[in-house]
Structure 1
Amino acid sequence: MSSDLWSFSLATYARPGVEDACLQLQTAGANVCLLLCALWLEQRGVMCDERRARQLQTLTEPWDIEVVQPLRTLRMQWKARALDDAVLKGMREQIKSLELEAERALLSRLEGVAQAWPRNAAGSTTWLEGLAGSAASPNRDALQVLRVAATGT
């Protein structure tokens, strides 16, 4: 298991089926960085409670809304036109890099908050469903793909 959240996230995301599961959950309203953080916390055996989950969500929401989503929206808007425009394609790749850097910054912030939480604490360590929010129920299979993939990192 990778000790830092960024390395863990990269290793987990690279596993078979994870990208599709993450995109399915993202489409349903979940935040992929929160999902990866949830898996990381579960792997570390950190106790899940409502206060901690809320703390992670409160940290994530403004960054996602103000930074990540606008970059993603712009990148997706340019997708079709970039197929026939080399300059736009290059600019789209730059936007994609910025989006990834914004997600890395968010993961770093999430790790900064959560790394002090004790490992192997007694109580529930089921973070994934809680941080998936309303996307959890209709996407149980996608959550299971993530959980299985995370155990292999």
Structure 2
Amino acid sequence: MQLDNPLWRYALKVYSHPSVERSCLAAQDLGLHVNTLLLCCWLATRDEYYQSEHYASVLTLWRDPVLSPLRRVRYQVRAMCQEYPELESCYQHLKQSELAAEQVDIALLWQLYLLQPSPVAVDSSAENAAKALAQKNIANYLKAVEMDSTATAVACSNQLVDAVIEHN
């Protein structure tokens, strides 16, 4: 597994912008997987389509058994910090652990990408092609997780695409 890979470096680069971070956290609050959303945007910069079935195994391999429970524990400790400020150090350690787990998640997405690269978009010469393809890729992801008819998820995803494209 390659923890430091082009997808990880892309995620770090775009996430460092406050507007992208806010959009990602809003998407996460809706139950969307930020790393998959960033994958969709990254693929668009490469003129490639996102295929949900190709990346589905990440859920059972890592997200469901490791990443999601870790995030829930971090949220619980964060809430407890209001009453018990001495838990702040524990919370910060959990935050670092979650970031390390996110890096593994992205490494797994990268590994799957290497096994079967995504199909190339036919017409990548149009103006705003990366933005349009990112929106299409995310629409495919939202459909796969049955959130394509949720106006909030679509709006949040579009906001993320705007922020990512602006800072890419």
TM-score, scaled relative to structure 1: 0.81
* Worse overlay, 128-137 or 60-69: 128-137
The question of 1:27 aligning with 2:29 is answered yes
Residue of structure 2 equivalent to 1:93: 92
Give, in angstroms, the shift of residue 17 of structure 1: 2.4
Structure-2 residue corresponding to 1:142: 156
1:104-115 mapped onto 2 (5 Å cutoff): 104-115=103-114
Fraction of identical pairs, as percent:
24
What SS is found at the alignment partner of 2:56?
helix
- Aligned length in residues: 147
Q: Which residue of 1 aligns with 2:10?
A: 8
Please tell me whether the aligned partners of residues 39 and 147 of structure 1 are also in contact (alpha carbons under 8 angstroms): yes
Give the secondary structure class of the aligned counterpart of 1:127.
Answer: helix
For residues 18-77 of structure 1, what are the alpha-carbon distances to aligned partners after superposition, in whole Å with 9 as ceiling and x for unaligned? 2232222222221111111111111111134xxx31121222344111111111111111
Which residues of 2 match residues 33-52 of structure 1 at below 5 A? 33-48=35-50, 52=51
* CA distance 1:23–1:118, shift in 2 (3 Å): closer
Q: State the distance in 1 between where 2:60 and 2:160 align.
A: 21
**Greater relative contact order: 1 or 2 (C-alpha under 8 angstroms, separation 6 or more)?**
1
Give the superposed CA RMSD. Answer: 2.4
Contact 1:28–1:135 (Cα < 8 Å) also in 2: no
| Greater mean deviation of Cα atoms: 91-100 or 56-65 | 56-65
